[in-house]
Chains A and B, each alone.
Chain A
Amino acid sequence: MESALSVQNVTKRFGDFTAVDQVSFEVEDGKFFSILGPSGCGKTTLLRMIAGFYKPDGGTLLFNGKNMDGVAPNKRPVNLVFQNLALFPMMNVHENIAFGLRRRGERGPEVDRKVRSLLERVGLPESGKKQISQLSGGQKQRIAIARCLIMEPTVLLLDEPLGALDAKLREHMKVELKTLQSQVGTTFVYITHDQSEAMVMSDTVAVMNNGHFEQIGTPQELYHEPKSSFVAQFVGNNNKLRVRLHRDAEGDTIARYSDRYDFKLAQKFEQSGLEDEYDLFIRPEAVIINPGEGRENFQTVPVDVTSILFDGGNSRLMVKPLGTEGELVVALPQTREYDSIRSGDRIQVGWDLNKTVCFKRSDWKLYDEE
């Protein structure tokens, strides 16, 4: 089957700076595809190239197999939902949605019919006469999408359209946008810096950093099997321990932490030079409190509880492995099983070896690190 959108080795430079570097990916028809990355990673540049506002310095863009080289943005079968939505304040809702049809020269009752049916599909059947300023944030969102959908694009591009909404509404719109996409069946390409948006809505997510894709996969794959240190840190919460690797007598790879703990790894490292600096990643919910004896492929560590962060279902323990200055975040399930734990207690925590991943240290830092 042909891809709705095919991007092959696309590159964009601004002077000496390479904003997008040899990026390739395919989006199947009807899918929700997200590009996730921190600000400045090149995702907006990539999106604007797909929309046609920037001309790539290299590579090919295909829509339904058709090469888009030299095709002006207004001639491409693709429409863009802008970050600030860019609804026309000088027109009412109906005129906004009908704008594209009118520019194609469509007139008469057919336009009205299409606009009305689309307003129904986005759940705002009575809003045609309203002014843009009368709409709520969520309604504007839906009108901006409707204005593009009426053009029946092959691909709908969305440039962080939830960015301007407040947190509560954003949660709500995530679900709504996903539902809307599956109803209309249009291919969505969505860019965002919010990993939760990408995970909740997407069929496939591409994680972008420094102008290239680190990994493309389903949200589950990205979460459970990150292929790089960047993905491990950027997607979901993770504990990062600075470790050095070596091999023990049996040939297993061992991660030495703080010159005190040796953690066995399930991962096999073939390359030499294992003594280099590595980062070991453990998800907070993979850490089990007081695991008890007799588990296979399991690593336990004695720790001191430094603080308890109660946050309902998202509660955490902050613990410090004995004799180190490091800190681990441990998910604290609210099953009342752990209610007796107090700050300052000495407890055991542990994890399944298969649930950790280890990567060579990268220079990249998550923005909330010091």
Chain B
Amino acid sequence: MMKNRQHIKWGFLFFFLPVVLWLFLLIVLPHLELLRLSFTKANTGKLTLDNYLAFFREPIYWLTFVRTAGYSILVTFLVMVISLPVSFYISKMVRGRMTGALMILILVPFWVSELIRVYGWMILLRESGILNHFLVTLGFFKEPVEMLYNDITMIMGLVYTSMLFMVVPVIGVMDDLDNSIIEAAYDLGASKIAIWRTIIIPHCASGLVNGGIIVFMLVLGSYLTPNLMGGKNSLWFTEQIYNQIILYFNWNQGAAFGFLLLALSSLIIWVLLKLTKQNLKEVVKK
């Protein structure tokens, strides 16, 4: 082993340098630059708090921020509620081959790009959409109703686009739940509700949190779904960032917004991890 030390060192550098370059040039330094810009005045380069103060002065900014955070939490919760029974069905109620087939069926739509999925919902739900066409033809509605561009549709779209990231980890932990544990609870007199409450949900907690972190992060940072399915009043915080940078070309303001979004997502993920006594490494590894 001692004789090999020189070789090992070269091998180590071969792996080490690209990784360090990647992480510093593409992750660390850009974020430091983001932080620096958020504290500088446009054009002059002087230090200032104006960009952050603007956020608090303009209600449209901080209201959008709060709304985005609140809706992201709501979507995460809804996704958990839907994913539990779906995962349970796939993992525990159907037989082996059917499980594999359903698993593929669940995964396939999520390989398709988010844009196409959102587009699908648009042609289904808009005023001239498929659903309206059927409802009017069948006589349920007198005239078409705009079902797109409102908060409820937007939330449904966000649930749809992020669901997989909950279903997969929850099926993972559900598979680890030994059937005999459920049988034992049943044998000791537990009702269905009691089994769900005392056995299944506590067992799935880690999967729910892992999925919850990913879903929350995706929803919070999502742009396409709120932009295309939400209405004019359903402004999402990522749209504010987009507007500042692309439309108004106010990069310093955009940097401050970006940093606020990053801080919010880090904070909520940190709280979730602390609540469940996990750390990020374990979550990502699953």
Contact = CB atoms under 8 A, between A and B. Distances in A.
A51 B183 CA distance: 10
Contact of A103 (B188, B202, B203, B205): B188
B180 interface: yes
Contacts of B203: 89-90
B54 interface: no
Chain A interface mostly helix, strand, loop or mixed? loop
Interface in A30-70: 51, 53
A73 interface: yes
B183 A99 contact: no
Contacts of A79: 187-188
A363 B285 CA distance: 53
Interface string B227-271: 000000000000000000000000000000000000000000000
B187 A88 contact: no
Given A90-B199, A103-B194, A82 B188 contact: no
A88 B199 contact: yes
A53 B183 contact: yes
A99 B190 contact: yes
Contacts of A89: 181, 203
Given A82-B180, A86-B183, A100 B188 contact: yes
Contacts of A80: 183-184, 187
Given A86-B178, A90-B202, A90-B203, A103 B183 contact: no
Counting contact residues on chain B (CB < 8 A from A), the size range is: 10 to 19
A104 B189 contact: yes
A87 B186 CA distance: 13
A82 B199 contact: no
Contacts, number: 57
A99 B187 contact: no
A83 interface: yes
Given A88-B199, A90-B202, A90-B203, A83 B188 contact: no
Contact of B180 (A73, A86, A147, A148): A86
Tell me if B's interface is mostly helix, strand, loop or mixed.
helix
B128 interface: no
A86 B181 contact: yes
B185 interface: yes
Contacts of B205: 90
B137 interface: no
A103 B191 CA distance: 8
Nearest to B205: A90
Nearest to B189: A103
B278 interface: no
Nearest to A73: B187
B279 interface: no
A86 B186 CA distance: 12
Given A84-B178, A86-B178, A74 B186 contact: yes
Given A83-B180, A86-B184, A74 B189 contact: yes
B196 to A, nearest CB: 13
A84 B187 CA distance: 15
B180 A88 contact: no
B186 A73 contact: yes
B180 A99 contact: no
A180 interface: no
A122 interface: no
A151 interface: yes
A87 B183 CA distance: 11
Contacts of A83: 180
Contacts of B199: 88, 90
A103 B180 contact: no
B198 interface: yes
Interface in A93-110: 99-100, 103-104
A103 B178 contact: no
Nearest to A75: B189
A88 B176 CA distance: 13
Contacts of B198: 88, 90-91, 99
A103 to B, nearest CB: 4
B178 A99 contact: no
Nearest to B190: A103
Given A80-B187, A99-B185, 17 more contacts: A53-B183, A73-B187, A74-B186, A80-B184, A82-B184, A84-B178, A84-B180, A86-B181, A86-B184, A91-B198, A99-B190, A103-B188, A103-B190, A103-B191, A147-B184, A147-B188, A151-B189
Interface of B: 178, 180-181, 183-191, 194, 198-199, 202-203, 205
23 contacts: A51-B187, A73-B187, A74-B186, A79-B188, A80-B183, A80-B187, A82-B184, A86-B180, A86-B184, A87-B184, A88-B181, A89-B181, A90-B203, A90-B205, A91-B202, A99-B185, A99-B190, A99-B198, A103-B194, A104-B189, A147-B184, A151-B188, A151-B189
Q: Which 5 A-B pairs have the closest CB atoms?
A: A100-B188, A90-B202, A86-B184, A86-B180, A103-B189
